[in-house]
Structure 1
Amino acid sequence: MKIAGIGAAVPERCIANAEVERQLGLEAGWALRRTGVRLRPVAAPDEATSDLAVRAGRAALADAGVNPHDVALLLLATSTPDHPLPPTAPQVAHRLGLMRAGAVDLAAACAGFVYGLALGEAMGRTMDACVLVIGANVLSRRTDPRDPMTATLFADGAGAAVLVPGEGVLGTYLGAHGENWDEIFIAAGGSREPLSPEAIEAGRHLMRMRNGPELFRRAVRMMAQAGAKALEAAQLDASRVDVWVPHQANRRIIREAGKLLGISMERTVDIVERYGNSSAATIPIALCVARERGLLIRGQIVLLTAVGAGLVSAGAVLRW
C-alpha cells in the first residue's frame, strides 16, 4: 500500500503565547522556550472533531483522485470523539459518502495516525482496496486552561491520508508501555471513575501530565526507538532517510530524539511553532505543510515516528 493523497483541516482561530502567558501569570517567552509553540489553532465553539475530520478526509480523497465508493475502510485516530458513544468514524464515513466502507475509531493518542497507517496498510493489502486514515482532535476541550503544562502546548486540527494498492509502506513498528499509563491521562469519564459533579469541580475530566522530566526523557527514547525499529523492519538505516516527520510533541523532544536517531534538523519537518500539538493530527498536518514547502518529492524515503499517552509509540517508513 502507498499514500496517494493527503489533506489537512486547521481551525481559523489561533491563540498566541501572549494570551496564554497572561492568563497563567507566566513571564513573556516562557511557552516558546519550554515547548517551541508560538500559536495554537483552536476550534470554533460549534466545531467538533468530526467537522475537522470530514474536511481533512475530503481534501485527501480529492488529492488522491479516489472515489469515496472505492474506500473499503476508514480509521479515525482521535482522543476527542464527538460523543462517548457512538464512535465518531461512522458519522465521518457517512458525511464523506463512504457508502461501502467500514469505519472505526482508534484510541492510540498521539501515535494514532501512525498506528492507523500500519493497520490500514495491512487491511488494505488483505482487501486489495483503498483505506482512508484520519487523525483529528479538538484538544482545547480536554485541556485545563489553568495548567501551564498542557495549556501552552495542545491545539486542534485534523489530517488525513489515502492508502491505495502499490508499494509505499516499507516498514512499520508499533509499541506499548502500559506500565506508564498514568503519565498522561484524564482521570474521570471512564468506567474506572465515572463523571460526577465532584470530579468536574476538581478538573478530573481534563488532561494531566505527571512527572514532567521523566516523561520527557521517556518520550525521547521511545520516539527514537520507534524510528529505529521501523527502519530495521524496512531494512534501512537512518542515513537513507530523506525526510523525518516526527509527531510534533514539542520542539525539545523532536531535537533530542533526532540526535539519538542521527537525523539532522535539516532533514526534519518541524511545524510545532505554528500548529502546536494536536496529538494524532500532527503528522498528517506536517506532511501537508512539508509538501507545500517543497520538502516532499516522489521517491524519497520518509520516516514517521510518534509517542503518546498509554504510553504508546509507532514508526513507519514510506517511499514517498
Structure 2
Amino acid sequence: MNITILGAGHAVPRRMVTNAELERRWSLPEGWIERRTGIKQRPWVEPEEATSDLAVAAGLRALERAAVDPADIDLVILATSTPDHLLPPTAPRVAHLMGCDRAGAFDLTGACCGFLFGLSQGESHVRARGGKVLVIGANVLSRRVRPEDPNTGSLFSDGAGAVVLGPVERQAGLCGYSSGSNGALWDSVYIAEGGSRSPFAAETFARGGHLMDMKNGGGLFREAVGDMARVGIAALDKAEWSRDEVDWWVPHQANARMIEEVRKTLSLPETKTVRTIEHYGNSSAGTIPIALSLSMEDGRLNPGHRLLMTAVGAGMLRIGIAWRL
C-alpha cells in the first residue's frame, strides 16, 4: 500500500510577540534575540486559549484541504507536551470537537520529535488497517517558559500543524526511518515538578517548579546538531536516496543556528531547506507540521517530492524520516 499526505493545515494564535517587546522586558540590546536564535517574532496564546483550540483549528484545516469528512477518520494522534489537562488525554476531546466521533484517539508525548513519531505510527496504522489517520502536533509552550529567562522565553512559541494520511495509487509514503534516544541526558530540557517523581507541592508554583529548564546550552547544542544529522543520514541510507535526490529538507525548527549547522553537515543546499523559525518560533512538535502546511499552501511541496524530515527533542530523542509525497 502506498500512503500519502492528503492534506495539511496549521493554526497559530493571533497574538505575535516581537523581539522588541521581549528585549525591553529583559533589558537586552536591540537585535540580541535574532542574532542568537534567528527568530523575529513568535505566536503566543491569549489567556482563554489552550492546546486543544489550536489542534482543532489545524485539524479541521487539514481535513478541508484533504477533502476528507471528519467522520471518515479512523485515528487521531495528537503529539503534544502541553495537554489541556494531565488527565484525561486531550486527543479524544480534539477528535470529538472536529466531528471524528468514530475515531480512536491518543496523545503522544515525544517532545520536539513527537510529530514525526506520530507520522510513523499513523503511516503504520494506514498500512495495516487502511482508512485515514489525522496526525496533529500542537503545543502552548508560552505557559511553560520562565518569564525571567531569555534563553527559553525567546525561543518557544505556540502553534499547531496537522496532516491527513491515506492510501493512494501512486508511489508514496515512508521510505526511510531512523530513531534513537540518549536517556543519560534526560534532564537537559525538563520540567522538574508535576509528575510522579516529584508531584506538585504547595511551593511548586512559587519556585517555578512547573516551568521549563535547559541545562548546558553549548553542550546540548552540539549534541542536538550531531543527533539530527546522524538520523537524517541514516534515514536517507534506509531509503537509498542520495542527497541530490532530496527535494526538500524539513527540519524541526529549534533555532536558526542549529538548522544551519545540521544543513552543512548533511550537505544540503539552502534552497532545499524549509525554514519557518523567523516568524513562528519553536513550538516543539508543532514546527514540522506547520512547515509542511505552509509549504503546501504556497506550492513548494507537490506530489512526488522527496522529503527528509529530522528532529531532536527533550529526553535527547532523535528521529529522521525520508518520505515521498
Give the TM-score band, short-chain normalised. over 0.9
Structure 1 residue 270 corresponds to structure 2 residue 275: yes
**Whole-Å Cα distance in 1 between the matches of residues 127 and 293 of structure 2?**
25
Stretches of structure 1 lacking an aligned partner (at least 5 in a row): none
* Cα offsets for 1:273-314 (capped at 9, x unmatched): 100000000001111222233321221111111111011111
Structure 1 residue 297 corresponds to structure 2 residue 302: yes
TM-score by length of 1: 0.98
What secondary structure is seen at the aligned counterpart in 2 of 1:144? coil
- Specify the alignment match of 2:100 in structure 1: 98
State the Cα distance separating 1:28 from its structure 2 match: 1.0
Please list, as runs of the form range in 1=range in 2, the aligned pairs for 1:101-180 lying within 5 A after superposition.
101-166=103-168, 167-180=172-185
**Whole-Å Cα distance in 2 between the matches of residues 69 and 233 of structure 1?**
35
What secondary structure is seen at the aligned counterpart in 1 of 2:315? coil
- Specify the alignment match of 1:46 in structure 2: 48
Structure 1 residue 36 corresponds to structure 2 residue 25: no
* Cα offsets for 1:124-169 (capped at 9, x unmatched): 1111111110000000011111111100100000000000013322
Structure 1 residue 14 corresponds to structure 2 residue 19: no
Structure 1 residue 228 corresponds to structure 2 residue 230: no
* Cα offsets for 1:49-88 (capped at 9, x unmatched): 0000000000111111112222111110000000000000
**Whole-Å Cα distance in 2 between the matches of residues 145 and 239 of structure 1?**
44
Stretches of structure 2 lacking an aligned partner (at least 5 in a row): none
What secondary structure is seen at the aligned counterpart in 1 of 2:198? coil
* Cα offsets for 1:246-299 (capped at 9, x unmatched): 000000000000111111111101110100000000001111222233321221
Aligned alpha-carbon RMSD (Å): 1.0
Structure 1 residue 249 corresponds to structure 2 residue 254: yes
TM-score by length of 2: 0.96
- Specify the alignment match of 1:218 in structure 2: 223
Percent identity, aligned pairs only, is 54
State the Cα distance separating 1:220 from its structure 2 match: 0.5
What secondary structure is seen at the aligned counterpart in 1 of 2:134? strand
* Among candidates 62, 65, 68, match of residue 66 of structure 1: 68
What secondary structure is seen at the aligned counterpart in 1 of 2:55? helix
* Among candidates 185, 203, 211, match of residue 208 of structure 2: 203
The number of aligned residues is 320
State the Cα distance separating 1:43 from its structure 2 match: 0.9
State the Cα distance separating 1:197 from its structure 2 match: 2.7
* Among candidates 272, 295, 319, match of residue 314 of structure 1: 319
**Whole-Å Cα distance in 2 between the matches of residues 64 and 290 of structure 1?**
15
